[in-house]
Structure 1
């Protein structure tokens, strides 16, 4: 691990300004992803800004009937909150499907959204990776790609986003609130937060230099049946090969978001329709632009079968 300096920020604006003004600075909250990357010297921040003392650890009702979730709310606390379990069940289920109990106790809401890919070539510093070292190439293309993206990738990167929580928030149309180094705030729809890789896979979000996430807001509950189904190599402590977040209304109208298939939670509102329907047809529409590798072409069938399982669960409910 490289030597770094450290400070505890007193306000969100102070933290954002410090991150902007100090070269090589990074925010740290739970550290469940960042510290691992620092140990491997994939991340080598010169300065860490501890944001744990900023009071961003509350879940509050909004005047519009939704919930405002502080950036530092831990995953365990968010998943177990009575209001989340009652009105946003898909989010609670997605959170509980992620990582382990110990990690959920430390991981923060903002950190979960901003965690980096688990692509094996990103973690292997002996391999070319445009996300880790821009312009070096992508060893995953032509390499072992079983767990990687089938849609939304590019010739520069086929990594996937690892967050379960982000998939649940995407299907709920959450919004992300930030503070910028000049103290101004802005609201970003979660659909726009994460970028597809294009030619710059190292730029993973639309956040500006120094910009700090302060909260995530869930809109008024939409009701209906909430389902999160995750397919993985083992029953716990594993990232999704494919996941489906679904919110199904009594009339059958459904919202669907996929995890494990792209560089960001994958949702195409234009193809959402009533369920039950033909899972293959729905999957074909969601994955119309898919460009799988020989290693991960199975994910297309796996999305179909996971959608079938979601439909069967909805029918039983």
Structure 2
């Protein structure tokens, strides 16, 4: 894939950050019309069906008999755990606050990449990781006083862990599967599992198929899930993965801003302080030091 122009890269990154940011308050609003697991399953299956249109021309690269287990593992981590816990958790906490905790994921990704991908761990990254955990701790302090749901905190952290592990898994197996088929299959497999679980524990008759919910569902399925993942892999395929990672800290900021306007969610001092720690931590974790700088730090330690 040829390298994207700077203008196109900026436009794609802007689209990705905005749609993934507004996803949080929109999902929170959708839960007024539907049980969480059925909603998670419907939107991911719809997103997978939309991506299927783009994947079918690459049918030879599917190789399902050889790689089905990779799709299943990715579906468990990136869809069943990430989207499942995320959608259920939004029922326990404000959308902006929940997203701020989930976006500890880039920090967790730094640890997972060090452990399983052999990426370097140096001073600035360690400081960033510590700041990230401090940020989540500050935000979560309300759970000790009853101001914030403890269940919501654990669901947010579980969602972040699933996303982090899923990202590492996809990166580690990237040379064994086609990227578009990986996303398509994980959405379809994970979505079907979520629909199955939801059908057994929730009632389809509880879904209120009003126009606001249908519009919300279609927007999330098309733009957040299907096109969002397509844009993501377009950027990654063009060598922009590091930029995508470094810009993710804008997503909870957008989520909190939109949630405060649309859902009238309050912005507390703890949330601001915790979010500042998380933003700084993600910046530190994503800074790419020159090889010489890394070697210098390592030599200094030795």
Q: Which TM-score band (shorter chain)?
A: under 0.3
TM-score, normalised via structure 1 length: 0.26
TM-score, normalised via structure 2 length: 0.27
Structure with the bigger RCO (C-alpha within 8 Å, sep 6+) is 2
